[in-house]
Every structure is written in C-alpha cells, then in structure tokens.
Amino acid sequence: MNNRFIVKPELCTGCRSCELACSFTHAVDGVRSLTRITPIDGGFKDLWVPVTCLQCDDAACIKSCLVNALKRNPVTGAVELNHEVCVNCMACVAACPFGCAVLDTQTNLIVKCDLCGGDPACAHFCPTKALEWKPIPKAVKKTG
Amino acid sequence: MKEYIGVDGYQALAKVLHKMTPDEVIDEIINSGLRGRGGGGFSAGKKWKICKNIKAEKHYVICNGDEGDPGAFMDRSIMEGDPHGVLEGMMIAAYAVGAKEGYIYVRDEYPLAVTHLEKAILDCERSGLLGENILGTDFSFSIKIARGAGAFVCGESSALMKSVAGEVGEPRATYIRSVVKGLYDEPTVLNNVETLVNVPTIIRKGADWYKSIGTKKSTGTKVFSLVGKVRNTGLIEVPMGITLREIIYDIGGGILDDRPFKAVQTGGPSGGCIPESMLDLPVDFDSLTEVGSMMGSGGMIVMDDTTCIVDVAKYFLEFLVEESCGKCTPCREGLYQLHKLLEKICSGKGEMSDIEKMERLSENVMIGSLCGLGKSGPNPLMSTLKYFKDEYIAHIKDKKCPAGVCPELITYKILDNCTGCMACIPACGYDAIEGKKKEVHVITQDKCTKCGACYAVCNFDSILVS
Amino acid sequence: MIHITINGKVVQAKDGEMLLTVIRREQIDVPTLCHHEAVEPSGACRLCMVEITKPEWDGWCDYVTSCLYPAADGLIVNTHAPKVNELRSSILDMYLARHPKSPEIRQLAAEYGVLKTQFEEIVDGNNCILCGICTRICDTMGFHAISMVGRGHGKEVAPPLNMAPDACVGCLSCAKNCPTNYIEYNVSNGNLSIWKKDFKMAACKECGKTTITKEFAEYLSKNRDINIDYFENVTNVTEKN
Ligand SMILES: Cc1cc2nc3c(=O)[nH]c(=O)nc-3n(C[C@H](O)[C@H](O)[C@H](O)COP(=O)(O)O)c2cc1C
Ligand code: SF4
Ligand code: SF4
Ligand code: SF4
Ligand code: FES
C-alpha cells in the first residue's frame, strides 16, 4: 500500500465534510452510519484535526479481538471488521488508544474505518485539502 | 492366559503376523461377510479397508464395550469371560489397518470386565504379545482401557470418541465418518466387542467356514439376551437366519404359563416390536430392519397378552427421553412430546388426532435428529403403531386397556363369588375395600388407586380387572 | 472452484466450504438458531436442514444440516423442499411448545405458519433454546466460564456448580449473542453483573467513560500484549457527533 492520509491541520476548518462523506458511504439501508472520522478541536483557536483510524502496524484492536473478527486486508492494508464474526465484546473499542473503533448504537454494530475499500471518500470531499489520500512523501517514508 | 492359548489362543495373531499381509487379512474378513454386531451391521472388513486406505499420521482401533441397552449383558459376558479373544481381535484389526494404539471403552458399571481386561493386557505385555515388535515382527501395538461415562448415548461412535478423548460424551455432527476422521481426528476403526471376538476364529478357521454358518447376507452367529415372558431366559448364541419362533419356542421353551404370545421387542430401546404374524421371520440384519425393528446389539424381550403395547412404547420412549443427550432439538423436544402424547393416551385422555400427530412427529424426529439415538428413537412407537393400532384405538376410543395394565383405564371389581374372607381389606393400603365377614366385599372406586394389591391376595379369583 | 445447484440455479463454491455459506452468499434465507460465524458449527437446532441429491443417486435424496455439510461438485440443493419446510415447521412447533413466551421463537415459528403449538406447552419454562452459542463463544474466546450441564430435556446452560464463575471476565459476549436474549446482565454506574458475578468497569482517565470491565482489560493486556494504558484512555473521538 503506497497511499497514506496526509493531514494538514492548519488547513482544516472543522467543516465536517469528511464526516458526511463517511456517513453516507457507509449507510446501511439508507440509514446514515456513525462516522469513522471526526475533526476534533485541537485545543487552540481554529485549529482542527481530522482524526480517523491509523491502520496501525501493530494494531491493538486486532490483538484484542479474541474471535478473529478483525483482519488486515492484504491489498488495502486496512484493518477490516467482519460483522458476522464479531461478538460485540467491545474489546477493540476499549483497546484502540485513539478511540477509532466505536459502537454504533443504532445498528448495534462496531464500526471502524475500512479505507472505503482502498479509496477513502472523506479525502475526496475535503474542500480545503486538509485531508488527502496520496503516496507517502519520500522523506517520511524513510523514518516511518 | 494359559487357558486361552490352550484353546488355540493367539494362533490367529501369529498366522496373521507371519503369513498374511494386512490386505490379505482385510480380504479374508470381507470375504467372511462379518457384519458389525454393535447395531449398524456394517461390514467389518470394508470398514477396515476404508480406514487403512486413509493416509494419516496415526490410526486407532477402538473396541466398543459400552453396552448401554437396559437388560443387555452379552458384551459384558464376553469381556469378563474371554478378554483375550477381544484383545486378539483388536490386535488383528490393528495390524490390518496399521494402528499402533487401541482403546477399549468399557461401561463404568462393569468393574469386573475392567479387571479381567486389565489383567489380560498385563499378561500380554509381559509375554510380548502387546508392546514393541510383537512376536518378533515389526508390528507394535498397545491397548488402553477407557472407562465409560455411564450414558447410553456414549455408545454412539462420535460421542464415544469424544469421551475417550476426555471431552463431554455428546455426539458430534459431521458428515465425515469416523473411519476417516475419528479419535483425535485420525482415522479410527470402531468395532463392537462381539464383532472383534469373532475375528480370531475367522482367521483360524477361514472365511469359508464362517460363511457356512448363518445366511448369505448375515453370516456367522449372534448372541442374544432373551428375556421377558419366556420359560428359559438368558444369553443364547444362535446362527443367523434362525426364526423368531425357534428362538422363543424351541430355545426359550415357550411363553410362561402357556399364555398367548403377543410380541417380541428386538434391538434394544430403539428397536421395534414384532407381532405374532411375523414369528417365522428369519433373524438377520436385513429382515429385522425391513419390519421396522433392528438387530441392535441383540436384546430380545418377549411379551404375552398381559403386556400393554402402548405402555411398552411409553416405557422405551421414557428411557430415550432420559438418555437423549439434549444437544439437538428434534430428539430433545420431539421424543419428549412423543412421550407426553403416550402418557396422555395411557391416562385415557387420548384423541384420535393424537395418532396422526405422533406419526408426523416421529417421522420428523427420525429425519431431523443428529445422531442414531434420535434417528431411531421413534422406532418402538412406530412399530407398535403399525402392528397394534387397534390397541391404541382401544385406549383412545373405548378408554380401555385390553391388557389391563394402564391404571387410569382399568377398574377393579369384586365378583359375586367373593367368600367374604376379608383378606383383601388390610391388603388395600387406601381403605378402598369394605365388607363384612362372609359377605361379598365392595371396592369404593374413588379410593382405589389400581395398585393391584387385592388382586394379589385374593385366593378365590374374585377380583376382576377390566 | 466447484459448481453446485441451489434451487435450480448453478452457483460457484469453494470445495469443502459449508453449504450454508454458499446459500447465504446467494441471499437465500434459511433459518438458523445455533449458527454463529465466530464459532464452529454444532448442528444443534436442525433448522438449516436442506434436501440434497446428485444425478447419480437415482432420485434418492438426503436431508442434511447445511451449516455442517461441505459443498461438493455436482450437488443439487433444495433449501425449501416440501419435506424441508415440513421439518422446519415441526421443529419450530417443538420450540414453541417449550418456549411459548419467547418473542423470537414466536416470530420465527409464525414465518413457517406455526401460530400455536399442537403439543403440550411448557408454561413455566425459560427462554433458553439450548443452541449452545453462548458456551461455544465463551470457549472460543478462551474463558470456558459457562457450559452445558445435564442432558436430555433437563439440560441447561450454567457456570460450574451454579456459582459465580471464576473464569468469567464479564465481556457479555454470551448475552449479546443469545438468539433469545435469555442471559440476564446489568450495567450501571461503572458496575457490571452477569452470571451472579459483579465487576467494576475500567474507566477512562480523562473522561471517566467506561467500555469494558477491569477484568477483561487486564486479561487482554496480559494475554494479548496490549499496553494497559490503552484501556484507561478510551476517548472516543468519533463519538462526539
Ligand atoms: C445411541 C446409540 C447407542 C449405541 N450404543 C452402543 C453400545 O452400547 N455398544 C455398541 O457396541 N455399539 C453401540 N452403538 C453403535 C456404535 O455407534 C457403533 O456403530 C458400533 O460400535 C460399531 O461397531 P460394529 O461395526 O462392530 O457394530 C450405539 C449407537 C447409538 C446411535
Ligand atoms: S467487538 Fe467484535 S471486532 Fe471488536 S474485539 Fe470484540 S469481537 Fe472483535
Ligand atoms: S439425536 Fe439425541 S442423543 Fe443424538 S445428538 Fe441429538 S439430542 Fe443428542
Ligand atoms: S443462553 Fe442463549 S445462547 Fe446460550 S444456549 Fe441458551 S439460547 Fe443459546
Ligand atoms: S444452524 Fe443449527 S443445525 Fe445448522
């Protein structure tokens, strides 16, 4: 997987377009889903940061799942959740240090970012390019 | 041990190890037509062949000595009386399929069988018949005893293997047979005690000799436990193909008190009842199955006209409801409801629609259940409904139990020939009988619980049960 | 890849995958009460039975539980053959007699035309249908806190000796996946109780929010090599909306 989320907080206006995109993309039977991305108020005036799942290499959610409902998609690199297997134990919700796996109380399903199958909708919808989905800059690649 | 060798014991093993290849052994057993004595009647040789041809790290041989049928003790008598015969049979099976380990699963209620088998195993180990390089060949085999958990369903093959492996003895649903994936998921041959004990004889005397006994499709002999209303009860060994009439009248000596024969129940709790019109049926695997019963492990219960057929069906269903492991719905709930319906009929509350209800439910339980217990569970009911429907109808329509068994459907009355001896008055535990000396006594029907105590003490046949 | 025929339509399947998987992939509705993807199939409820046959079987057909029957090339499956439907309504009728008060059972039975049982109702019974989903999930997760006890009609799900089970960490997976919602539990004010056992919830150091029990968090931290701090930091960013 070559692409990564490139986030530039200084460009984020907290407009929540990414949330809308996420929610509609993952709608179930026409019902908007809980979003997997949220711009959070960085604490300073007008500094917002869109936060979503980092698809960590050593993912705590995968490790916490005792029934193997969470697996990494070898193509997209996303950690994907199989709702048929999930037993709703909330381990992953508790284990994720960023709070990126959550229980959608409307559907009673755990939701987390799946990178929309490899082409995240949120990045397309960001009007200010604060959030982009593109190849990792070389300098970053070396260290990270 | 010495006695066993004295009667050609372990000759067959020696012959097999030194002169025969495993395939030759299997062919000999297939040729002999030996069929499983544990119930299914599957060809033992064919089972071995399938098992041998599965490539696997390990193969196992298990001897099924669970014998859970009430009143059956054929396998017990073999394990106690001829433990070496069982061991030799297992060794030959092991050689044929390439197994190095074997288990004998013995019912917990048979401590003496365990002791005898343990001693026999020890003797064999000491004299090099079990262990590494048996009789100087490169065949190695060891046998362990596993104690049964005391449940009827543990005799079922998948439940038995789970039990041997230390898990709960519940049948496992799988469409892969245990000869392919059995104990510890390895190919496993499971044979009944009696099946295995036949093996050494076949090897020694040859398949052709064995085939000459019995019928074409059911060869050899079979041990039955003959019980019930016959003069001579006990274990009998008879050639296959003998008729029921010969067993009951020639060997069993006829019905007790020369009463009329009514039915014979074969095949253990999930077998069926066979009526008088079929007494000339030859006893072999296929004929019994055809008439809705089975060979089973060889129980035979003879009934006369004082046996109520509905009550018999109720008895067997009750046993099966208790012994069902409860894993799958049709067996757990279906047998329970069948038993409830039978109870309803026996208590005089039956309706004609119940018969059809039972027939439909039985069929669904048979198709739907997971293991053999549920699949054959409705047999006692189905076969009695088939041959004795009138008796069911008498219970339902006339509210009468023709055999005078079902308490709610009979009355006790004192006839006019009562001498007024007063013997029955204290015998009745419910103060239901009144009467003065030398006057005809009377039973107060409301108080009578139909226990039959008065009937038992009356010396003048004055009590009428109807 | 192999080919099997389901209700007249030829579909692709992987050799050996269970029929139910193929059937569901084709969006065909087959009722199940003991099936859960997280655990091995058990074949207890028998509702998923289907009729199967093969051309070479000469018109003979068999009835098998699709959750356990491996797909094989050339198999012809009928998920709603008359006999299968009859069997399902009969089984649901038995369920209805045993659990007349369960809304889930009533609804499923009604779908198969059984509105009232023809058998004797067990009025004082409970709603556990003995599907074994709870015990199998608990075993699969590695806790083995509850199991089936007894046999036959008296079988029940219970912790050992019917006492608060040592091995239970209060993850609630049994209760949340019970098809009839039979297992009782209670979560309130940072406390959780199930199977007569009381737990304290692990609370987020920042916001005080709770997600799982302390025992469960400690278990995961220890056995799954996850920093315990993670569990005390459950700021759910996405939950702000
Ligand atoms: C409910 C149930 C109980 C059984 N009990 C016994 C038993 O007590 N002894 C036995 O030898 N076979 C029993 N069987 C049959 C075994 O499953 C198995 O078929 C048999 O041991 C195979 O041996 P065979 O081929 O030599 O007959 C039982 C089967 C069922 C379904
Ligand atoms: S909630 Fe579901 S995905 Fe998360 S750990 Fe539990 S079973 Fe796995
Ligand atoms: S048929 Fe009866 S004994 Fe066999 S698995 Fe089902 S419940 Fe258990
Ligand atoms: S408690 Fe629920 S999940 Fe467990 S066996 Fe009973 S019905 Fe199934
Ligand atoms: S789903 Fe219950 S038996 Fe297959």
Instruction: Check which CATH number belongs to the domain holding A84 and give it.
Output: 3.30.70.20
Q: Please give the Cα distance from C105 to C91 (Å, whole number).
A: 11
B259 domain-assigned: yes
A111 domain-assigned: yes
Check whether residue B70 and residue B34 sit in a common domain: yes
Average pLDDT over residues C170-181: 97
Confidence check: pLDDT of B191 > 50: yes
A41 domain-assigned: yes
- Domain of A109 in residue numbering reads as 3-133
pLDDT value of position B190 = 96
The ipTM value here is 0.93
Contact A94 C36 (CB under 8 A): no
B320 domain-assigned: yes
- Which residue among C37, C39, C237 sits closest to A98, beta carbon to beta carbon? C237
Pairing of β A131-135 and β A3-7 = antiparallel
pLDDT in tens, C76-86: 999 999 999 99
The DSSP annotation for C71-108 comes to: P-TT-EEETT-HHHHHHHHHHHHHHHHH-TT-HHHHHH
CATH number for the domain harbouring residue B338: 1.20.1440.230
Partners of B255 in the β-ladder: B230
For residue B170, the chain C residue with the least C-alpha distance is C151
Residue nearest to atom 22 of ligand 1 (CA): B191
User: Residue B253 corresponds to which amino acid?
Assistant: G
B381 domain-assigned: yes
Check whether residue B25 and residue B61 sit in a common domain: yes
| B163, B320, B328: best to mutate for the C interface, most C CBs within 10 A | B328
Give every strand in the sheet of B234-239, ordered side by side: B234-239, B221-228, B299-304, B261-266, B272-275
CATH number for the domain harbouring residue B434: 3.30.70.20
Q: Please give the Cα distance from B243 to B267 (Å, whole number).
A: 15
Confidence check: pLDDT of A29 > 80: no
Interface of C with A in 132-151 (CB under 8 A): 137, 140-142
Tokens coding A65: 């799942």
CATH number for the domain harbouring residue B262: 3.10.20.600
pLDDT value of position B450 = 86
Contact B326 C69 (CB under 8 A): no
Interface of B with C in 129-168 (CB under 8 A): 151, 153, 168
What is the pLDDT of chain B when averaged over all its residues?
92
Average pLDDT over residues C46-57: 96
| Domains held by chain B: number | 4
Average pLDDT over residues B95-100: 96
pLDDT value of position A69 = 97
Q: Please give the Cα distance from B92 to B51 (Å, whole number).
A: 14
Q: Please give the Cα distance from C195 to C213 (Å, whole number).
A: 14
pLDDT in tens, C17-28: 999 999 999 999
pLDDT bucket at C241, cuts 50 / 70 / 90: very low
- Domain of B337 in residue numbering reads as 309-398
Contact B370 C70 (CB under 8 A): no
Angle formed by the axes of helices B335-346 and B389-396, nearest 10°: 60
Residue matched to tokens 């709930």:
B333
CA C85 to ligand 3 centroid distance, Å: 21
Q: Please give the Cα distance from B222 to B194 (Å, whole number).
A: 8
pLDDT bucket at B41, cuts 50 / 70 / 90: confident
pLDDT bucket at A144, cuts 50 / 70 / 90: very low
- Which residues in chain A are contacts of C190 at CB distance < 8 A? none
Q: Quick one: which of B55, B67, B61, B160 has its CA closest to B101?
A: B61
pLDDT bucket at A142, cuts 50 / 70 / 90: low
**Which protein residues are within 6 Å of ligand 4, measured from CB?**
C 128-134, 157, 178-180, 182-183
Q: Please give the Cα distance from B316 to B335 (Å, whole number).
A: 10
- Which residue among A60, A84, A91 sits closest to C37, beta carbon to beta carbon? A84
Contact C41 B324 (CB under 8 A): no
CA C234 from chain centre, in angstroms, equals: 29
> Mapping DSSP to helix (H, G, I), strand (E, B) and coil, where does residue B294 land?
coil
> Mapping DSSP to helix (H, G, I), strand (E, B) and coil, where does residue A86 land?
coil
- DSSP symbol at B453: H
Check whether residue B239 and residue B356 sit in a common domain: no
User: Looking at B161, B193, B211, which one is the last position of a domain?
Assistant: B211
pLDDT value of position B8 = 80
Q: Please give the Cα distance from B194 to B200 (Å, whole number).
A: 11
A67 domain-assigned: yes
Domain boundaries, chain C: 2-80, 84-125, 133-240
Confidence check: pLDDT of C240 > 50: no
pLDDT value of position A45 = 64
Check whether residue B361 and residue B388 sit in a common domain: yes
pLDDT value of position C235 = 59
pLDDT value of position B3 = 79
pLDDT in tens, B290-327: 998 888 888 899 999 999 999 999 999 999 999 999 99
pLDDT bucket at A141, cuts 50 / 70 / 90: low
CATH code of the domain occupying C2-80: 3.10.20.740
| Prediction pTM value | 0.89
Chains with 3 or more CB pairs under 8 A to chain A: C
Percentage of residues in chain B having pLDDT higher than 70: 100
| Domains held by chain A: number | 1
CATH number for the domain harbouring residue B147: 3.40.50.11540
Tokens coding B408: 């709610």
- Which residues in chain C are contacts of A63 at CB distance < 8 A? 220, 224-226
- Are residues B187 and B181 in contact, defined by beta-carbon separation less than 8 angstroms? yes
A82 lines ligand 2 (CB under 6 A): no
CB-based contacts of B389: which residues, under 8 Å, 6+ apart? B355
Sign of torsion, CA B222 B243 B225 B254?
negative
Q: Is C181 on the interface with A (CB under 8 A)?
A: no
Tokens coding C201: 């919830």
B216 domain-assigned: no
pLDDT value of position A42 = 65
User: Looking at B285, B304, B323, which one is the last position of a domain?
Assistant: B304
* Ligand 1 nearest atom to the CA of residue B107, by list position: 8
pLDDT in tens, C126-146: 999 999 999 999 999 999 999
B406 domain-assigned: no
CA B339 to ligand 5 centroid distance, Å: 25
Contact C230 A67 (CB under 8 A): no
User: Looking at B176, B191, B211, which one is the last position of a domain?
Assistant: B211
